[in-house]
Amino acid sequence: MKNRSLSFWLFLTPTLVALALVVFIPMLEGLLYSFTDWDGLSFTKMVGFKNYTALLTDKTFINAFWFTLAFVIVTVILLNVIGLGLALLVTQKFKGSNLLRTIFFMPNMIGGLILGFIWQFIFTQGFTALGTALHWSWLNGWLTNAKTGFWGLVIVTVWQMSGYIMIIYIAYLQNIPQEVIEAAEIDGASAWQRFTKITFPMIAPAFTVCMFLTLSNGFKIYDQNLSLTNGGPYQSTQMLAMNIVNTAYNSGNFAAAEAKAMIFFIIVAAISLIQVFYNRKREVDL
């Protein structure tokens, strides 16, 4: 605490003020609203925990929760495996590796909304055309049920984000001192041993970062969901963020949406922080 002088606070204040204005204060306000019957304009009374207890019987919210959880588990695994795989590939020294890096990263430059619309076209028009030409019936009718909607969302998200995750892994892979690997090579370690015993522990911090990013991104995803399936059909591909937005804006139930948002925040924060805490323990220093 000694070094927290006037200048410390002076430099911190602009950020704190900005954060307070756009994050802390609205959140406290939201917390307050979640205990009322707020309709977006005014509220007449406090209702206690009614909005929260109602969530327990809100089937669409519970469905959205399980759908989101399944989505997060699948995308976290796929994104990290594919991201790391791509990173290992483009850090090998071969011609065109730089070009490949750019190509793999490119989907990330396209906004989620546009990407969703592009893929909607691919799933509904492209897949159908391909399916008819090749007589593969599983290519027909994508996005018309919960299952294809789920995998459609997974494909789009993985396609978009694995390049970004790759960049993070590349940064850490390149930081591994070459002599350590050479030493292991001389000691007779196989490629697989070098990867599991040296490379993987050395990039543990990257793993922490990427896990955090993919986890929180998976939970909070909205734009791809909106443009690809819009939660349909029959709200079966509605994720948590979309469920909250729809509760507020389509159903006009702002107070219940605030309650959902609070629960959502607690879930995401808890899972992300626990994850960071455990992965930090695994990280090694040279």
Partner 1 sequence: MSKFWKRLGIAAAVAGTAMSLAACGSSSAQKDVKITILQGKVESNKQFKQIAKQYEKTHPHVKIEVTSIGGGTDYDPVLKTRISSGNAPTIFSLAGPADLKQFKNYAADLSDTKAAKNAEKGTTSAVSEGGKTYGLPFNVEGYGYVYNKTVFKKAGIDPKSLTTVAKLQAAVEKIDSEKDQLGIKGVFAMPGKETWTMSDHLLNLYLAPEYDNNAMKLYNSKTLNFSRNQEMKQMLDLQKKYSVQPVMQLDYSAQVNQDFSQGKVAMIQQGDWIYPTVESVDKKFAQNDVGMIPIPVKGEEGKLPVGTSLYWAVNKRKSTAEQKAAKDFLDWLYTSKAGKKDVVNKLHFVPAYKGYSNMKMPDALTQVVYDYSKQGKTTGWVFPAYTGTSWDPDVAQPNLQKYLSGKQAWDKTVTNMKTGWAKQQSSK
Q: How far is the CB of 71 from partner 1 (least distance, A)?
A: 19
Q: How far is the CB of 211 from partner 1 (least distance, A)?
A: 34
Q: Which two tokens stand for residue 249?
A: 């804006």
Residue with smaller CB distance to partner 1, 140 or 279: 140
d(CA 47, CA 254) in angstroms, rounded, equals 13
d(CA 70, CA 73) in angstroms, rounded, equals 5
Is residue 9 a contact residue for partner 1 (CB under 8 A)? yes
* Number of residues binding to partner 1, judged by CB under 8 A: 28
**Out of 144, 216, 272, 279, the residue judged to bind partner 1 by CB under 8 A:** 144
d(CA 36, CA 204) in angstroms, rounded, equals 45
Is residue 51 a contact residue for partner 1 (CB under 8 A)? no
**Out of 145, 216, 272, 279, the residue judged to bind partner 1 by CB under 8 A:** 145
Evaluate whether 71 touches 152 at the Cβ level (below 8 Å): no
Residue with smaller CB distance to partner 1, 40 or 48: 40
How far, in Å, are 33, 36, 121, 138, 248 from residue 45 at the CA level?
10, 6, 47, 53, 18
Is residue 133 a contact residue for partner 1 (CB under 8 A)? no
Q: How far is the CB of 224 from partner 1 (least distance, A)?
A: 17
* Max Cα–Cα distance, the chain, nearest Å: 76
Is residue 251 a contact residue for partner 1 (CB under 8 A)? yes
Is residue 246 a contact residue for partner 1 (CB under 8 A)? yes
**Out of 23, 233, 270, 273, the residue judged to bind partner 1 by CB under 8 A:** 233
Residue with smaller CB distance to partner 1, 14 or 96: 14
Residue with smaller CB distance to partner 1, 43 or 159: 43
Is residue 49 a contact residue for partner 1 (CB under 8 A)? no
Helix axes 112-121, 146-174, angle to 10 degrees: 130
Instruction: Choose one: 72-80, 214-222, 227-235, 272-280; the region binding partner 1 (CB under 8 A).
Output: 227-235
The three-state (H, E, C) secondary structure of 127-177, written as one string: HHHHHHHHCCHHHCCCCCCHHHHHHHHHHHHHHHHHHHHHHHHHHHHHCCC
d(CA 272, CA 212) in angstroms, rounded, equals 6
**Out of 87, 143, 168, 173, the residue judged to bind partner 1 by CB under 8 A:** 143
Residue with smaller CB distance to partner 1, 177 or 252: 252
Q: 251 CB contacts (<8 Å, ≥6 apart)? A: none
Beta bridge mates, 46 = 36
Binding site for partner 1 (CB under 8 A): 6, 9-10, 13, 39-41, 60, 124, 128, 140-145, 230, 232-235, 246, 248-253
